[in-house]
Structure 1
Amino acid sequence: MAFPSTSVPANFSLTAIQSGGNKTECAQGKIEDWAFSVLQVYILLISVTGILFNVFVLMVFCFHKKPCTVAEVYLSNLAAADLVLVSFLPFWAISASQHFNWPFGSVLCRLVNLAIIMNMYCSIYFLVLISADRYLALVHPLSHEVIRRPKYAKVGCLLVWGLGLLLSVPTLIYREVEYKPDLNITTCYLNYPNTNAILLLEVMLTTFSFIIPIFFISFCTWKIIQALSNRVIVGLTTQKMEQKATTLILAVLLAFLICWVPFHLVRTMELLFRAKVLVDCKVSAITFICKQIFMYFAFFNSVLNPILYVIVGKNFRKKVRELFDSSIGKQSTTFSLNSTRTYLKSVRTSVRSANVLS
Structure 2
Amino acid sequence: MQMKGTTQFSSSRNDSNCTSDSRISQVIFPLLYTFLFLVGLTMNGLAMWVFFKISSKSNFIIFLKNTVISDFLMILTFPFKILSDAKLVSWVLRGFVCQVTQVVFYFTMYISILFLALITVDRYQKATSPFRSPTPRSLLAAKLLSTAVWLSMFALSLPNMILNNKKKTPRSVRKCALLKSEFGLVWHEIVTYICQLIFWVSLAVIVVYYLLISRELYKSYKRTRCTGKASKKTVNLKVFIIIAVFFICFVPFHFTRIPYTLSQTRDVFDCSAQNTLFYLKETTLWLTSLNACLDPFIYFFLCKSFRKSLLAMLCQHRAVPGLGAHTKGQNEGDDTDETPL
The aligned residue for residue 75 of structure 1 is 64
The aligned residue for residue 158 of structure 1 is 147
**Higher normalized helix content (fraction of residues):** 2
Report the 3-state secondary structure (helix = DSSP H, G, I; strand = E; otherwise coil) of the residue aligned with 2:52: helix
Corresponding position: 1:220 with 2:225: no
> C-alpha separation between the residues in 2 aligned to 1:244 and 1:235?
13
The aligned residue for residue 21 of structure 1 is none
Corresponding position: 1:287 with 2:287: no
CA pair 173-75 structure 1, distance change in 2 beyond 3 A: same
**Higher normalized strand content (fraction of residues):** 1
Per-residue CA deviation, residues 252-290 of structure 1 (Å, 9 max, x unaligned), is: 3321221111001111334676898x8687555423321
> C-alpha separation between the residues in 2 aligned to 1:152 and 1:248?
27
Structure 2 alignment gaps of length 5 or more = 1-14, 323-341
| Contact 2:64–2:299 (CA under 8 A) maintained in structure 1 | no
The aligned residue for residue 307 of structure 2 is 317
Percent of aligned pairs sharing the same letter = 21
> C-alpha separation between the residues in 2 aligned to 1:34 and 1:273?
19
The aligned residue for residue 42 of structure 2 is 52
CA pair 308-217 structure 1, distance change in 2 beyond 3 A: closer
> C-alpha separation between the residues in 2 aligned to 1:320 and 1:328?
12
> C-alpha separation between the residues in 2 aligned to 1:137 and 1:214?
20
Query: How much has 1:223 moved relative to structure 2?
Result: 1.0
CA pair 212-228 structure 1, distance change in 2 beyond 3 A: same
Corresponding position: 1:191 with 2:180: yes
CA pair 280-191 structure 1, distance change in 2 beyond 3 A: closer
Query: How much has 1:107 moved relative to structure 2?
Result: 5.9
Give the structure, 1 or 2, with the largest relative contact order (CA under 8 Å, sep 6 or more).
Answer: 2
| Contact 2:30–2:86 (CA under 8 A) maintained in structure 1 | yes
Query: How much has 1:134 moved relative to structure 2?
Result: 1.3
Q: Max radius of gyration: which structure?
A: 1
CA pair 47-196 structure 1, distance change in 2 beyond 3 A: closer
The aligned residue for residue 43 of structure 1 is 33
1:257 corresponds to which of 247, 251, 270: 247
> C-alpha separation between the residues in 2 aligned to 1:252 and 1:234?
25
> C-alpha separation between the residues in 2 aligned to 1:74 and 1:258?
21
Aligned residues, how many?
301
CA pair 101-191 structure 1, distance change in 2 beyond 3 A: farther
The aligned residue for residue 51 of structure 2 is 61
The aligned residue for residue 172 of structure 1 is 161
> C-alpha separation between the residues in 2 aligned to 1:166 and 1:184?
26
> C-alpha separation between the residues in 2 aligned to 1:245 and 1:154?
29
Per-residue CA deviation, residues 221-261 of structure 1 (Å, 9 max, x unaligned), is: 21112111122123499xxxx99997555313321221111
Task: Identify the range of structure 1 (190-199 vs 263-272) with the bigger mean alpha-carbon deviation.
Answer: 190-199
Task: Identify the range of structure 1 (278-287 vs 115-124) with the bigger mean alpha-carbon deviation.
Answer: 278-287
CA RMSD of aligned residues (A): 4.0
2:287 corresponds to which of 276, 282, 297: 297
Report the 3-state secondary structure (helix = DSSP H, G, I; strand = E; otherwise coil) of the residue aligned with 2:197: helix
Report the 3-state secondary structure (helix = DSSP H, G, I; strand = E; otherwise coil) of the residue aligned with 1:300: helix
* TM-score, with length taken from structure 2: 0.72
> C-alpha separation between the residues in 2 aligned to 1:137 and 1:311?
15
Task: Identify the range of structure 1 (316-325 vs 158-167) with the bigger mean alpha-carbon deviation.
Answer: 316-325
The aligned residue for residue 113 of structure 2 is 124
1:134 corresponds to which of 123, 127, 146: 123
Task: Identify the range of structure 1 (87-96 vs 154-163) with the bigger mean alpha-carbon deviation.
Answer: 154-163
Amino acid at match of 1:132: V
CA pair 270-142 structure 1, distance change in 2 beyond 3 A: same
> C-alpha separation between the residues in 2 aligned to 1:60 and 1:324?
11
CA pair 328-279 structure 1, distance change in 2 beyond 3 A: closer
> C-alpha separation between the residues in 1 aligned to 2:43 and 2:297?
8
> C-alpha separation between the residues in 2 aligned to 1:199 and 1:77?
27
Query: How much has 1:57 moved relative to structure 2?
Result: 0.7
| Contact 2:95–2:173 (CA under 8 A) maintained in structure 1 | no
Query: How much has 1:147 moved relative to structure 2?
Result: 7.9
> C-alpha separation between the residues in 1 aligned to 2:67 and 2:234?
18
Report the 3-state secondary structure (helix = DSSP H, G, I; strand = E; otherwise coil) of the residue aligned with 1:234: helix
CA pair 231-109 structure 1, distance change in 2 beyond 3 A: same
> C-alpha separation between the residues in 1 aligned to 2:204 and 2:186?
27
CA pair 92-295 structure 1, distance change in 2 beyond 3 A: same
Per-residue CA deviation, residues 164-223 of structure 1 (Å, 9 max, x unaligned), is: 212212322222464456x48565445142565554443233213x12221112211211
Per-residue CA deviation, residues 59-90 of structure 1 (Å, 9 max, x unaligned), is: 112124x6553322211211111000101210
CA pair 88-261 structure 1, distance change in 2 beyond 3 A: same
